[in-house]
Amino acid sequence: MEPSSLEAARAFLRARRVALVGASRSEKDLSRAVLKELVARGYDVVPVNPAVAEVAGRRAFARVSEVTPPPDAALVMTPPARAEEVVRDCVAAGVREIWFHRGAGPGAASPAALALCAASGIHAVKDLCPFMALPGAGFPHRLHGFLRRRLARGEAR
């Protein structure tokens, strides 16, 4: 039986060094809020964005496979059209845990990326925003996560 999204997310959060793929140069972007929260909780977050050299005072890398030392996991906050390419790069880097961010929109996952994760033995988290799974998250984030999980169960029936 496949673990629930929340169980998979909690397993992902055991990683300590996380590549944040799609980290934005804009301070107002959600990826920056996620980066800031993970860092505040003690994670070693490595921004990945080929268009910038630094994000929030941290050295950025163009690809996950260029990150040294390599990350334990990757949080993907890119458009779904880039997801398969990101998974291929994570496979090359030896990353075994990938979280495809999903907030209010369609999310970062694509069917091809999820299939590649399954074929490569990568544990994938989908359909959640990290704020929904982090311990002590605020009420709006917990409510959003609860509703997302309830809707997912209803769609599966």
CA–CA gap between residue 95 and residue 118 (Å, rounded): 13
Domain boundaries, the chain: 5-156
Pull the structure tokens for residue 107. Answer: 């999310």
**Single pTM value for the model:** 0.85
Instruction: Give the CA diameter of the chain.
Output: 46
- The pLDDT, as a whole number, for residue 143 is 46
CA–CA gap between residue 60 and residue 143 (Å, rounded): 33
Q: What are phi and psi of 82, to 5 degrees?
A: -95, -5
- The DSSP-derived string for 54-111 is EETTEE-BSSGGG-SSPPSEEEE-S-GGGHHHHHHHHHHHT--EEEEE-SSSS-S--H
pLDDT bracket for residue 144 (50, 70, 90): very low
- The pLDDT, as a whole number, for residue 7 is 81
Average pLDDT score over the chain? 86
CA–CA gap between residue 70 and residue 46 (Å, rounded): 10
CATH superfamily of 5-156: NAD(P)-binding Rossmann-like Domain (3.40.50.720)
Judge whether residue 142 has pLDDT over 50.
no
Q: Express each pLDDT in 41-99 by its tens digit.
A: 999 999 999 999 999 999 999 999 999 999 999 999 999 999 999 999 999 999 999 99
- Sign of the alpha-carbon dihedral angle for 87, 93, 97, 99: negative
Q: Express each pLDDT in 42-57 by its tens digit.
A: 999 999 999 999 999 9
